[in-house]
Amino acid sequence: MRAYDIIKKKRDGLKLNQAEIAAIIKGFVDNTVPDYQMAAFLMAVYFRGMDEEETYWLTECMRTSGDVIDLKGIEGFTVDKHSTGGVGDKTSLVLGPVLAALGLKVAKMSGRGLGHTGGTIDKLEAIKGFSCELSTPEFIKAVNTTGVVIVGQTGNLVPADKKIYALRDVTATVDSIPLIAASIMSKKLAVANKGLVLDVKVGSGAFMKSLDDARELARLMVKIGKQAGRKVTAVISNMDEPLGEMIGNSVEVIEAIETLRNKGPESFATLIKALAAQALALASDLSHEAAEAKVSEVLENGQAYKKLLEMVKIQGGDVSMIEDYRKLPAAEKTVELKADKAGYISQIHCEEIGLAAMMLGAGRETKESKIDMGVGLKLIKHVGDQVKAGDVIAELYVNPKRDNDKAVDRLRAAITISPQHVTPQKLILDIIS
């Protein structure tokens, strides 16, 4: 079966069969299909699309291209969560302990950040001694002990996706819904969790810019997951402004700790409760309202916070940095960004906020970039808030040895002040189950 014929068939808008999709994916992984042919195939998919059956076959071929982790040694209902990426998204740091406190088992593999999106593993490594590398037996034992473990992805987990994504990134084929769905779900299904909650972001700081596209992606991923025999639900959440208040690494860990102490930003807590309630509903017969009440209970009684301490301890981290987060890496200097006129915050361009934080040193421009754990920023004002000239609208935590002027200018340009009041969008826009 020639790659040429498969590319031509998709180019002409015809449906591929399972064997054809398997042939081109396997050939690309074993290097018998060269980059230029895979790039042509991806462009054909970008323009011609794939139906649901083709997308499922693509997902399965990618899922089985490397290691598959069965989790058979873990007792109880295993559940995972995936976010499609955003700014200030420290959700896993809070959601994992919350779900463990509810009696679920969270065996989570997360990634690092690149560009304007932060990575969960980077944030956890702000905690001294915290290890994101555990052997499979250590991983399973730790999950059974604490209920929640977050580690980095294994080197041979879905190698097809690693190779394909690298090509998509340089061939302008990233924003294809079938390719996005197959990329996400192949990684999630390669770890055999019983339940999966998807946090599909939409807005200026997300891959999906429109609600219709976000719904289409969510429905497709939920269907793929169910075809694979998993319990899956998707929450569509607004990423037109950053999640919570903090953007960075140490500062996001701090916000996660405060949220687990039931003192975090209300908007962030709202998303945690929605995602956790959906996960609990997958594992039980509880209604969404009853599940959300149980989530509120473990936040209020401190059980979720205790699970964070247990996770940090079992993964070798310094628990005292959680108990007293002033010990976490911190920036040397704080710079205040003040409003230059009176009015209302009418827009916060989320992606630009993330890029400003990256320029401060909180993120990576390339995979080789080194992160400064202490730098970042805090949004004091949000869409809909009234401000006076001179009011502090954001704080930047900076390394004075860097040239931070461009980052400050980018942050200022990302926040629009208008004379008319603007009503902010809801955070939870839809639930697809």
Catalytic residue among 65, 183, 204, 237: 183
CA distance 252 to 358: 14
CA distance 394 to 396: 7
430 belongs to the catalytic site: no
3-state DSSP assignment of residue 214 = helix
Catalytic residue among 168, 201, 307, 364: 168
Q: Is the CB of residue 237 less than 8 Å from the CB of residue 427?
A: yes
Q: What angle do CA 42, 48, 53 make, to 5 degrees?
A: 85
- In the chain, what is the straight-line distance between the N-terminal and C-terminal CA atoms, in Å? 38
Catalytic residue among 187, 307, 378, 410: 187
Point out which residues pair with 430 in neighbouring strands.
236
CA distance 76 to 105: 6
3-state DSSP assignment of residue 28 = helix
Catalytic residue among 89, 161, 240, 372: 161
For residue 122, which of 252, 239, 244 has the smallest C-alpha distance? 252
CA distance 224 to 286: 24
183 belongs to the catalytic site: yes
Radius of gyration of the chain from Cα atoms? 22
Torsion of CA 406, 407, 413, 416, to 10 degrees: -160
CA distances to 18, 54, 62, 275, 287 from 22, rounded to whole Å, are 6, 11, 9, 34, 40
296 belongs to the catalytic site: no
Catalytic residue among 82, 105, 215, 273: 82
CA distance 270 to 223: 26
For residue 232, which of 55, 80, 15 has the smallest C-alpha distance? 80
CB atoms within 10 A of CB 368: 6
CA distance 212 to 191: 29
Question: Which residues are annotated as catalytic?
Answer: 82, 161, 168, 183, 187
